Amino acid sequence: MQEINIIEAVRQAMYEEMDRDDTVFILGEDIGVRGGVFLATDGFLESFGAGRVIDTPISESAIAGIALGAAMQGMRPIVEIEFADFMWPVFNQILGEAARIRYGTEGKLQAPLVLRAPYGGGIRGGLYHSQSPEAYFAHTPGLKVVAPATPFDAKGLLKAAIRDNDPVIFLEHKKTYRLVKGQVPTEEYTVPIGKADVKLEGEDITIVTYGLMLHHCVEAARIVKENNISVEVIDLRTLRPIDHKTLVTSVMKTGKVLIVHEDTQALGIGAEVSAILAEEVFDYLDAPIRRLAGPEVPAMPFSPTLEGEFMIVSQDIVNALAHLSEY
C-alpha cells in the first residue's frame, strides 16, 4: 500500500492506462509542457510524446469533438477540461452526440472517451471556477457520471472509466486534490462504475453523499456518535447510474435519511435519490427524507465570507442529523 493524495491517484491511473494500452491518449489545454493546470499530467509529455499528450487550442467544443471522433475510430481519449465551469461548450458534442452514438447506430459504434473536470467550491474560485455541473450530465441517458471522494476510489474508478466502452464524465473535486490522502494498493485494481460504497456503518440514520461532502459527513457522523446517534454514511461514487440496491438496503435498516451535496438543491442529485427512496422504501421510513444542499443562488460568490455561507460544513450536517434524530 502507498499513501497518496487524490491528484496523484488520478495521475497514476492515467499513466498506468497509457502505459498498458497505446490506444489511450490525452488532450486538453496546457496538459503537455505545463503538465496541466493542477499538474495531473506532469511528466507525461516526456514519457509518451506529443502524439499521445496533445496540447490543444482554447476551444472546449473542438477538444470534445476531436475526442469523440477518435473514440468512434477505436481510440480511448482522455479529455481534460481545466475547470468544470468551462464545460458548457462541450454540451452538444457530449450530450447531443457522444451519449447517443451506441443507441443511434444500433451498437455498431461506441464512444469510449473520458472527460475529466475539476469541479466544486471552497478554493476562492468565485463565479467561474467553482461550479458543480453534475446534474446536467447525470440527466442524460448514454452517459456515465463519476465523482470519487478518496484516492482509492479516484484511481480505481478512473481506470475503470478509461476501459469503459461508453462516455464517462469524471468529476474531481478540486479542493480534495491535495487535501485528501489515503491508502492505495501498489498492485493493479479497478473500482466498478455504478456501485456505491458504505464508508461508515450505522443504525439510526443514513447519509447519502459524494465528493468533498463525504469527508464532512464522516466527521459529522463521528461527532453525533458522542450523543448516541449512529449514522451510516454512503458515498454514491457514481451519479449515473445510481446504485439503488445499496441505498435501499441501508434505509430499510435505519428508517431515516439525509442527503447532502454541495450543488444547489432544486432538481439535483438529491432529488433523484429522494425519488428512488420514496418509490422503493416508503413503508420503511420513520421520518421525511431530508436534503441538505447549497443555497439557490446562481453561482459561488467571490467574497470569502459569502463563499463560507455557501459551502456546507460539518456543523451544518451535525445540526441536520440532530433535527432528524428527534423526529
Catalytic residues: 129
Three-state SS letters, 61-99: HHHHHHHHHHHHCCCEEEEECCCHHHCHHHHHHHHHHHH
DSSP structure class, residue 238 = E
In 10 A of CB 323, how many CB atoms? 12
From the centroid of its chain, how far is CA 262? 12
DSSP string, 147-207: ---SHHHHHHHHHHHHH-SS-EEEEEEGGGTTT-EEEE-SS-----TT--EEEE--SSEEE
CA distance 212 to 305: 19
Q: Are 118 and 176 in contact (CB under 8 A)?
A: no
DSSP structure class, residue 141 = T
CA distance 206 to 185: 29
DSSP string, 197-222: EEEE--SSEEEEE-TTHHHHHHHHHH
Q: Give the three-state DSSP class for 117.
A: strand
* C-alpha cell belonging to residue 49: 510524446
CA distance 215 to 197: 14
